[in-house]
Structure 1
């Protein structure tokens, strides 16, 4: 199931990177972290889904399909973002910054819309990049006679 895999990759990357950065921060006695930790999970999950699309369908997705994926992926990623925000600052500190704002407040909605905008762009473009790279790789393999 596409959204189950997308969610699993998103959560694995988000929690894994958060814990790695947290561990590095503890061992190096420095505050590490970046807002990039919030967008990277969606980028990687969309890249993998683009690759899987080509493996399943054998062709590049059309623009309508890519945007459809992007919008649904944005809803999934934004929901997971909110879940991670309230899961506790020890689990995913960068995501927990959203929890500082009162749910429903203007600050909360503004932050969530900013995250959703980033997720939309990341999902759309990395889905296409993953699909395009897979097609290119498959063509190169055929030319070399490896398929």
Structure 2
């Protein structure tokens, strides 16, 4: 995480612990309620094959992980219309809740201080019985 070439290497498990300590993650039902109330933007970063296999969260903004920062930077020239400011509450959703934590850390570096991620990712959303658009219907 630091640019110091003499720093001790950090494994991914420790990196996840460090980044997750910097914000409060949300459970599926809380994310659903916040999205319904217009208090949070759900952002699905799963790759296409997973979306095609499992379906979509209705209303979620789909942004491939490699485009996330460009699409959510409120100052960026390639931002999504939903990227209205640094106070936007973003809930990042990946498949199981790991890649989304690292993506959230990156959004924090861009100044999106209310960004968080979904504990357990899309799989937890589906297991909670929350709405899912079947593949091919979106």
- Could you say whether these structures have the same fold, taking a TM-score greater than 0.5 normalized by the shorter chain as the test? no
State which structure, 1 or 2, has the greater radius of gyration over its C-alpha atoms. Answer: 1
- Tell me the TM-score normalised to structure 2 length: 0.30
Higher helix share: 1
Structure that is richer in strand per residue: 2
Q: TM-score, normalized by length of structure 1?
A: 0.29
